[in-house]
Chains A and B, each alone.
Chain A
């Protein structure tokens, strides 16, 4: 099979618009969690989220006008605008702007979302009830559909290769990276613009995840403390929003055009829990099998891993189950591996999480540093694995694995490695 490398990165996150500002703040141990100001939270149990800071672009704020015309912005939900921004950044970073018909047809898109246009669906349902069907916009459907992030990116950049989108809840971003890499490996495309985008922060989104008892509710007065994976006081995840997009490219294609190569995608594993719609299987077997499959595909053993970017959402159940699965996987190698949850800083970006976290795994390799798990004051269980509490650590990172697990019992693991010729 053909080899696949990463040549471009793009991101919109609660810590800033752009990959480098986000990464800098993660390494500084900052949190993107804050009080929700954009809608009434008085009757909601959760009043905080990791929101993207909108602005004119100064101080790393997100200026949507830079990525999509205002007349188009009002036709779509925010996840599409985030996806357009992250894809635009990633293509610029890769310096890949196909102009010939051949290059356009060799470049595809696979940007997914966990939920898609939740806000627009909620608002339009109210409009339909109050004012009737004649008031429903012709842009209602195309502005909410999950695959329209890929659709808009494909149209804006003239990408005529595979035009696809993943929908696997919180595993979406990881599945998109893995599946897009496979399309390249199998020859369906030479370049793929892949990742995830999500804009779930709304009254209906918070109410829904509150009802499922998934969100943190005990840190409304100290939002920066709320996302605390592995800590004994954790009480649920903190909802985030944004997008992560990677440009994946066939190795020789990247070399021929002299592209900067961040890392190689060498492993990808998938599995199903077949257990429960929202709870992970208590034995962690689904995560274990997804990581094992990724290692097998990569031709590596567990002791080859240097860093794991955990799914680690800060829920009471999930964190320890994942940790148990990783301990089972690593065996005696546990003490030489670092594993952290960057969701402690970014919150949980749901369908975008796997994409931004694959990017963090790649940056850990680039910079030989492992990002911290902030707020990890008192681990709820003992482990030989270094969970990198509070502060980033310099250490050699050549191989990194990123885990993503989603509702429905869907698991994905992606392994990236520093390019070796």
Chain B
């Protein structure tokens, strides 16, 4: 997993309080990791903070899995 992937995973574990082994690329935040709609908003904010980039709402709506987040951030991360 890329460095960005590791950082994404760390944030997801911290915010959702889930076992690290469950945080795999195809894990859905809502269906597999127990997040609700507010959790996903907060996750996106945490990604913005960690990676120094803005994630517009229309992009945030397409980030449904751990892998989606990693892919988006590999392209857009500024830090």
A138-B38, A139-B38 known; A69-B17 Cβ under 8 A: yes
Judged by DSSP, the binding face of B is: helix
Q: Is B63 located at the chain interface by the 8 A CB criterion? A: no
Q: Is A258 located at the chain interface by the 8 A CB criterion? A: no
Q: How many residues of B contact A (CB 8 A)?
A: 10
Asked if A138 contacts B41 (CB within 8 A), the reply is: yes
Q: Contact flags (1/0) for A67-86 with B, using CB distance below 8 Å? A: 00111100000000000000
Q: Which residues of chain A in 138-181 are interfacial with respect to chain B, using CB atoms and an 8 Å cutoff?
A: 138-139, 142
Q: Contact flags (1/0) for B35-79 with A, using CB distance below 8 Å? A: 000100110010011000010000000000000000000000000
* Complex Cα gap A206–B76 (Å): 44
Q: Is B27 located at the chain interface by the 8 A CB criterion? A: no
* Complex Cα gap A134–B45 (Å): 8
Asked if B45 contacts A70 (CB within 8 A), the reply is: no
CB distance from A283 to the nearest CB of B (A): 50
Asked if A139 contacts B42 (CB within 8 A), the reply is: yes
Chain A residues with CB under 8 Å of B54's CB are 134
Asked if A70 contacts B42 (CB within 8 A), the reply is: no
Asked if A137 contacts B45 (CB within 8 A), the reply is: yes
Asked if B17 contacts A137 (CB within 8 A), the reply is: no
* Complex Cα gap A69–B16 (Å): 10
CB distance from A43 to the nearest CB of B (A): 31
State the A residues within 8 Å of B (CB): 69-72, 134-135, 137-139, 142
Q: Show 20 residue pairs from A and B whose CB-CB distance is below 8 angstroms, ordered by the A residue.
A: A69-B17, A70-B17, A71-B15, A71-B16, A71-B17, A72-B17, A134-B45, A134-B48, A134-B54, A135-B45, A135-B49, A137-B42, A137-B45, A138-B38, A138-B41, A138-B42, A138-B45, A139-B38, A139-B42, A142-B38
State the B residues within 8 Å of A (CB): 15-17, 38, 41-42, 45, 48-49, 54
The 4 A-B pairs of least Cβ separation, nearest first, read A71-B17, A138-B38, A138-B41, A138-B42
